[in-house]
Amino acid sequence: MHIALTSGEARYLTETGKNIVKNEDLLKAPIQFVNELLQLQDHFSSLLTTAFDNDREFKKLFQHDFETFLNSNRQSPEFLAHYMDDILRSGLKCVSDAEMDDKLDNVMVLFRCLHEKDVFEKYFKQYLAKRLLLDKSSSDDVEKALLAKLKTECGCQFTQKLENMFRDKELWLNLANSFRDWLEGPQWQKLTPDISVRVLTAGVWPTVQCTLVVLPPELAMAYDVFTAFYTEKHTGRKLTINTLLGNADIKATFYPPPKSLQSNYENGPGPSNAGGEPKEINPENKILQVTTHQMIILLQFNYHKVISCQQLLDNLKIPEKELKRCLYSLALSKSSQRILTRKGSKGRDMIDMSDEFVVNDNFQSKLTRVKVKMVSGKVESEPEIKETRQKVEDDRKLEVEAAIVRTMKTRKRLSHNDLVTEVTEQLRHRFIPSPTIIKQRIEMLIEREFLQRDEQDHRSYSYMA
């Protein structure tokens, strides 16, 4: 009876789990996807305790089945990282510290079931970088508590770069205070605009390298002043500006035309005042919260009434894909944040290089501070998934080679099967390498003369000092 009941519950678990990881709607909603898995996990954890008295066999069966269907969806690591990002941003403000800790523990149960923890790490690092750089984290204490749990689970190598990102944050906060004190010297006047620079250690952060864009004169001057301060304080270091993850607050004044006038621009016309004198409308003064690239684009309209996408590309050197994302967010996204207007092309949802843009002087908002959100998907597109996967595969080759060298340096001589077993065991906490990949990396190390085949047994290898 006990065996029959256990196998019946296992079948229910497997069927329910497969329905979750293959549900098309849930694949478009990572937060709900993970929530469904957490509810299923909670149900069976309670069942294990109340009905099966923490029976070892049932627990082992439960763990095996959960791992099987969770890892059958290759996006599970990405979705779990996205879920963690969501709770670390929102902070679940209505819960106590103890409840938050329990929430993190439940998520860690899912994390333990992942086979591709290195894929999770890749996404988690990207989300953490954005939280720290954009000040979106709800609590550094909660962040560090989660890092401690990951460190306990996977070792210090897994969290080393993540911990260094927090170290950089502490350093840039101290650097900002020093910069303010330095600017108070008699040789400097007050900087306009006021800037805050985050100095990141190269190789620690997962930021994408951005081609150097053409900065507006006032911003270029502020950056040169900071560079002078930093090189004076740290001799021999070199700064390279990365504008991809920056943000800015800019003051904008909109001058709505009289209501009786018509506009040929998309989203332009307001209600007409036919039959009477044109009614003047007071200027709208707003503070726009935008990305650095959006700011650079908007400042161009201080010098040009109309400007095309191609002209912006030529003048600013912002990568084309990024430029179009910025323009889409400023001109074609929510009506509440359409700062620009595209001339003509009404109804078309794509941006061409020939499209021309003007300031939307009809822009209105009840808010004084208007946040313009960048258009981005909740999950990666297919090309982005392939690119991330390729980066992971490249990293895995290096990790497999390093594990082989470490093992052979210690053991000096091993058979092929024993070497595969030991390397797999070493890397299990990050990913499970296939025997084929291990064999390929062994061949590469033989070619580079780190290893050599045993002369009497070609299925064995010796380490070459």
Of 296 and 2, the one with more pLDDT: 296
If asked whether residues 390 and 306 sit together in one domain, one would say no
pLDDT at 257 over 70: yes
Residue type, 145: A
Is 235 strand, coil or helix? coil
Q: By three-state DSSP, how is residue 285 classified?
A: strand
Domain-located, residue 221: yes
The yes-or-no verdict on residue 271 having pLDDT over 60 is no
Res 279: pLDDT: 59
Domain CATH number, residue 389: 1.10.10.10
Region of poorest pLDDT, from 168-172, 219-223, 261-265, 457-461: 261-265
Tell me the sheet residues that pair with 356.
308
**pLDDT over 90 for what percent of the chain?**
32
Both 139 and 89 in one domain: the answer is yes
Using the 3D structure, point to which of 348, 371, 394 is the last residue of a domain: 371
Find residue 342's DSSP bridge partners. 357
Whether 445 and 353 share a structural domain: no
Judge if 181 and 312 occupy the same domain: no
- We report the CATH number of the domain holding residue 353 as 3.30.230.130
- Within a domain: residue 357? yes
Do 140 and 188 sit in the same domain of this protein? no
In the DSSP assignment, the letter for residue 343 is: B
As a whole number, the mean pLDDT across the chain is 84
Nearest to 405 by CA among 432, 454, 438, 429: 438
Residue 31 has pLDDT above 80, yes or no: yes
DSSP 3-state assignment of 342? strand
d(CA 40, CA 24): 18
Name the domain boundary from 325, 344, 371: 371
- Write the DSSP symbol of residue 116: -
Asked, for residue 134, whether it belongs to a domain, the answer is yes
* Residue 238 placed within a domain: no
Whether residue 335 lies inside any domain: the answer is yes
pLDDT in tens, 90-147: 766 656 778 888 888 989 989 998 999 999 999 999 999 989 988 888 888 889 999 9
Tokens of 250: 């800019």
Report pTM: 0.78
Of 323, 350, 371, which marks where a domain is finished?
371
In this structure, how many other beta carbons lie within 10 angstroms of the beta carbon of residue 32? 16
Calculate mean pLDDT across residues 13-21: 85
Domain encompassing residue 320? 247-267+279-371
Greatest mean pLDDT range, 58-72, 180-194, 297-311, 375-389: 297-311
What is the pLDDT at residue 267? 47
Q: 288 and 396 share a domain?
A: no
Note whether residue 449 is domain-resident: yes
Decide if 198 is inside a domain.
yes
Residue 262 has pLDDT above 50, yes or no: no
Task: Let me know whether 357 and 292 are in one domain.
Answer: yes
Strand-pairing partners, residue 463, are 451
Q: How many domains does the chain have?
A: 4
Q: How many H-runs (helices) and E-runs (strands) does the chain carry?
A: 16, 9
User: Half-sphere exposure of 194 toward its Cβ, with a 13 Å CA cutoff?
Assistant: 6
Amino acid at residue number 189:
Q
Question: How big, in percent rounded to 5, are the helix, strand and coil portions of the chain?
Answer: 55, 10, 35
199 with 254, same domain: the answer is no
Cβ(155)–Cβ(429) below 8 Å: yes
Structure confidence at residue 428 as a pLDDT band (50, 70, 90): confident
